Structure 1
Amino acid sequence: MNRRTFLQHSGKIGAAALAAAAFPKLVKAKSKVTLKVVGTHVTLLEPIRKRAEQDLGITIEFHPAGDAEALLKASTDPAAFDIYEQWSNSIKVLWQAKTIQPIDTRRLTYWNEIGRLSKTGRISDQARHGLGDSPDKILFIQPDGGLGGEESHAISFLPYVHNVDSFGYNSAVVPKGVPYETESWGWLLDKRWRGKVAIVNAPEIGMLDLALAARAKGLMDFNDMGNMSREEVDQLFEIIIKFKRRGQFRGVWTSVPHSVDLMASGEVVIQSMFSPGVSALNGMGIPCVYAAPNEGYRAWHGVMCLSRDCVGERQEAAYAFMNWWLSGWPGAFIARQGYYISNPQRSKPFMSQAEWDYWYEGLPAAEPLAGTDGKISVQPGETRTGGSYLKRFENIAVWNTVMDTYEYILTKWNEFVLA
């Protein structure tokens, strides 16, 4: 992917504008306020909190939790947070619960730099759109108060970090596959790894991983995997509960550190994974490969939401924090754990050429690269599984989604976990 092509795909920011604003002047809040941020361990990292406090002149409290716990808090108690950070599958739940308020794009400094992926669901004309809740379907607030793809100044979330997820495997035990060819979601149900498989304990995410696995093994198919019927949900859970009772799964994990511990201890050799967990394991010397399944990835878009109770000076601070996230440094920081930002050219000046080439262009690492923890997670000559930003997002099977059968899925997921 050359520079001209990448600029086209990331918002067509002019080179002159980049040179002039590579290190933008950040607007500080007018008074000392405390901003409460609820989310997961993936983005609520201490270096991010400290840097934001330093740049913005406000006090920031991070309250990280597991996926389900964070979503429960945000959907039931808007007073518990000012900003909520998680995945796109949170949006329908929060919007229906009426615990978040519209975000005004006219108050977002870098709104026009956000790329087409976030606004249309496709990174290129050649890309799969992906089943389920692509970001464009849930981003814009429509005149009737619903969410949809018709552009407006009111949005339900700030599009910021995003990635494609798959499964990770310990290549010292599981034979290394060929990206986009032999690596398959079906490996999660392979009897060779019985008792050594773990799944993320998030119903709307873990279920999709298992649905992709069941389809890859030829055990069932779906009319629309992004919005399964009740009958399809029943059939899927009948299949995966049978596998669980045969001992296929070591268990479920609830946070990235938990997933790292499971593989580091040798309890599992293959599991649902998020990119920071893969990076951490490689930094520990454990050869964890992040698969590029031939069936396509499960994609997600990070959402930054504004509590309905966030008003006055706290709201001003919240907008400052949202703008800070797209100002360059944060995007470069999270690139080192394998995540992308929705206006990547803004972050490029904060990355070395070797970092940019490895994480965004999919080129071999020209030098040792450190993760967000400072440990070397990429050795010279290594290339990122799945290739470039463009290649990875052109191969989406399904987006993280809250389906019409969501409440029924919750009951079936509990049956699976307790089986």
Structure 2
Amino acid sequence: MRKLVFRVLFGLAILQAWLPAVAQFRVEVSGVGVTQLPIAISAFRGQDLVSQKIAAVVQADLERSGQFRIVDAGGAALDEMTRPDLALWRSKGADSLVNGSISRLVDGRFDVRFRLWDVVRGQDIGAQSYAVTQTDLRLAAHQIADYVYERLTGEKGVFSTRVAYVTKSAQRYQLWVADADGENAQAALASPEPIISPAWSPNGAQLAYVSFESRKPVIYTHDVLTGKRRLIANFRGSNSAPAWAPDGRSLAVTLSKDGGSQLYVIDANGGEPRRLLQSSSIDTEPAFSSDGKTLYFVSDRGGSPQIYKIPPSGGNVERVTFTGNYNISPAISPDGRWLAYITRVNGAFKLQLMEMITGTVTSLTDTVADESPAFAPNSKLIVYATQQQGREALMTTTLDGKVKASLSGQGGDLREPHWGPFSKQ
């Protein structure tokens, strides 16, 4: 059965029946970027020691970024100590090459090593090694991809970051934390009632979310490492749409305790909320800019849902979106350059991207049920929920919409994604 759109917007949510879901994702990349760096990734020598193929994970990460075109390595296995025949790799069309090795240490861990080559200039760009347990082999692969991405693009990679999302199987709702490619998913919370709107804290240690276990929307924060949680907002009426302030000390939330859906700021430990605006309109879905100086939100004060902004301390309200008559779910890129949001066009919900300086709006998708956009911490990718072939799925897209990766569960539906920050370690 087709899943109904579920939102906490302009009042209480509509509860829908979701198909069974699984924790693992199947990653499928489609599309070709306008400018891509050709790179070859050889099989790591000794990779037969482990079931996890490091080179394959690195390749999938780089492909998903939209910045790289993979040159077939032809099954070649090269370790990091072997100087490759760079002329051969140039003839294959590669500008750079990754090779490496995996070996078992005496304590049972694995030594993962790699080297990055500039094939065109004939230079060794750099090398690193990681001593990891078997369960951390994927993390090592993501860290290799991060290193390669940063050295070749000048931007930080996001492959070792995490995403949160929600599934429902039968009458069981679960909040998951997974690698940025969707693999290695771990259940953070399970409930017989809906869990929605997960939001990462700025340091990546906590998730705020909305639970319906009290048969109404209530806001909690959840410590990802320990599993402990704290009740943040359980006031009369609806408590929804938590958004962390960049300093992690407070959250913007939507409460209806004083009538209607209104914006408040509340301490991250709970307490008495401070109302931001005095209006008769419905204000909801707050989202902070990364510098903490601006709070974006959705309001019907102009007659239809549009995105507005105010200083978090309160003040004059400014309208942000003017294209279309129904715009919701704002997400601000960490670099402050972009606003992602959902617009409704002829009954279809589509992901949009606005360049903040010029106000230019681009439609990024050709799907019709997009929702819940969130930026990667390097501002180069967006994760969002949509429908594919009648099923709920998670997708990532580059900012030009050219390269998309499907993170679709093989047996179920996934939604409510939120991309975590860079590691603070």
Q: Which gives a bigger RCO, structure 1 or 2 (Cα 8 Å, sep 6+)?
A: 1
Which of the pair has more CA radius of gyration? 2
TM-score (norm 2): 0.24
Higher normalized strand content (fraction of residues): 2
TM-score (norm 1): 0.25
